[in-house]
Amino acid sequence: PEAIPLEVLFEDKHLIVLNKPAGITVHPAPGNKTGTLVNGLLHHCPDLPGIGGEMRPGIVHRLDKDTTGCIVIAKSQEALVKLQIQIQQRIASREYLGVVHGAPKTTEGTVVGAIGRHPIDRKKYAVVADEQGRYACTHWRLLERFGDYSLLRFKLDTGRTHQIRVHCAHIGHPMVGDVNYSRCRKLPVELPGQALHAVELGLNHPVTGERMIFEAPLPGSFERLLKHLRLTNT
């Protein structure tokens, strides 16, 4: 356990929903044992150990280290199982806001492409042949255009590692600030990572069955980016 500040959007005895900041990994991994969201959760929720395993207690789904926004964590084994089923069966809904390079030619679309390890750089992922990866589907909708940049809203059918970032790069509109999948290094404003934010999470409460919708406010860096783009492209 570590005393890491957590922005709690909702909490009861069954689950907790957080607004994750950039720069924090969700759970420990080899070579990265401290400073994770799980370390902070173990300090905040002393009963969490043992739920779902030692390294990922309570973890229902993940967000990339530099992706911000809504993430739900289970506080009981029953809640963990039921919430994981909701993710798998698409009962839970996850929507993101992201700023990408370029301007899509249409106002909405769907990217379907299996995601697997990059054939050359094994630390990255890529759209690969169906038999070499896992099925992935991302829906997107254009919200605003800012010259050479666009604000998109994404809805996930699946939740593969780096899915939105890989799919955006695949269609020629990589995420602004993404050092792994974008060659464009010069940014309009300074960002702590890619401009990708999990803005909305919908789920059925694992015990009461009540439909719940959570929204996470945009981080300051994302707000500054949008303000700059709007001012310079009016």
Please identify every residue annotated as catalytic. Answer: 64
Query: Token pair for residue 118?
Result: 């990059």
| 8 Å CB contact between 232 and 188 | yes
| 8 Å CB contact between 171 and 154 | no
Q: How far apart are CA 155 and CA 138, in angstroms?
A: 6
- Cα distances from 99 to residues 14, 40, 137, 151, 197, in angstroms, run 34, 29, 19, 5, 9
Q: How far apart are CA 7 and CA 45, in angstroms?
A: 14
Phi-psi region for residue 69, left (φ > 0), alpha (ψ -120 to 50) or beta? left
What's the sign of the alpha-carbon dihedral 47, 39, 178, 31?
negative
